[in-house]
Amino acid sequence: MNKWNSLMLIMLALLFNGCEARESSTVHDPGGFRGLHWGQSLPQQGFRHTYSESDETKWYWNENERDEDYYFGPGRALNIYYHFWKGRFYRVCINLKGYSNYRGVQVYALNRFGKPSTSRARLPYGWMPAFLEDYECSAWDFPKTVVVLTLHRNTEHSTLELASKAIATERDLELRKK
């Protein structure tokens, strides 16, 4: 075996050992995102309203974008939207573009959240892409939080979403009544 083949084998071994997902016993429920806890009201400063849905859901982004960390491991986000329903923080949507950013965030998610509890075949709380064959999905189910990472293979657009299970369920039930 020449030295290049040996070097490649060592690099692959280091890569796979470094990317190994943590056991679920060492992973904790995020309970929110970057200091905002599920159910918390909108902070007085720092967020700008960007979009409203008809069901009392409002999206915000951080006005101080220079203060927002767009890197998640080796992957970089395009934007981060904070969702509030009836004035309570319940979801964050991190949008990505490009396969390399998706793979980088996938490594981050595996290290941060452990092995996915659900694959694309069964996603919790309504995150079901319309055309599953075009998507790659992973989900993590915690007591208070659901985390979903999706990639649309055709467009290379992907999202990492974290949401409060309790508030998302409450919102879905209310929407179904209408």
Residue-wise pLDDT tens digits, 95-143: 999 999 999 999 999 999 999 986 543 444 455 554 466 778 888 989 9
pLDDT in tens, 27-62: 789 999 988 999 999 887 677 777 777 667 777 776
Q: Which residues in 75-109 are b (16+ Cβ under 10 Å) and which e?
A: bbbeebbbbbbeebbbbbbbebeeeebbbbbbbbb
Burial of 53 (0-12, 13-18, 19+ CB in 10 A): exposed
Give domain status of residue 164, yes or no.
Answer: yes
Give domain status of residue 13, yes or no.
Answer: no
Could you give phi then psi for residue 97, rounded to 5 degrees?
Answer: -135, 130
Give domain status of residue 24, yes or no.
Answer: no
Give domain status of residue 10, yes or no.
Answer: no
* Tokens (6 digits) for 33: 């995102």
pLDDT in tens, 54-104: 667 777 776 556 567 888 888 889 888 888 999 899 999 999 999 999 999
Query: What's the CA gap between 152 and 35, in Å, rounded?
Result: 29
- Please tell me the total count of domains within the chain: 1
Give domain status of residue 136, yes or no.
Answer: yes
Which domain does 49 fall in, by range? 30-177
pTM of the model: 0.75
Give domain status of residue 6, yes or no.
Answer: no
Q: Tell the residue number behind the tokens 């400063």, with chain if given.
A: 45
Give domain status of residue 19, yes or no.
Answer: no
Query: What's the CA gap between 93 and 162, in Å, rounded?
Result: 7
Give domain status of residue 114, yes or no.
Answer: yes
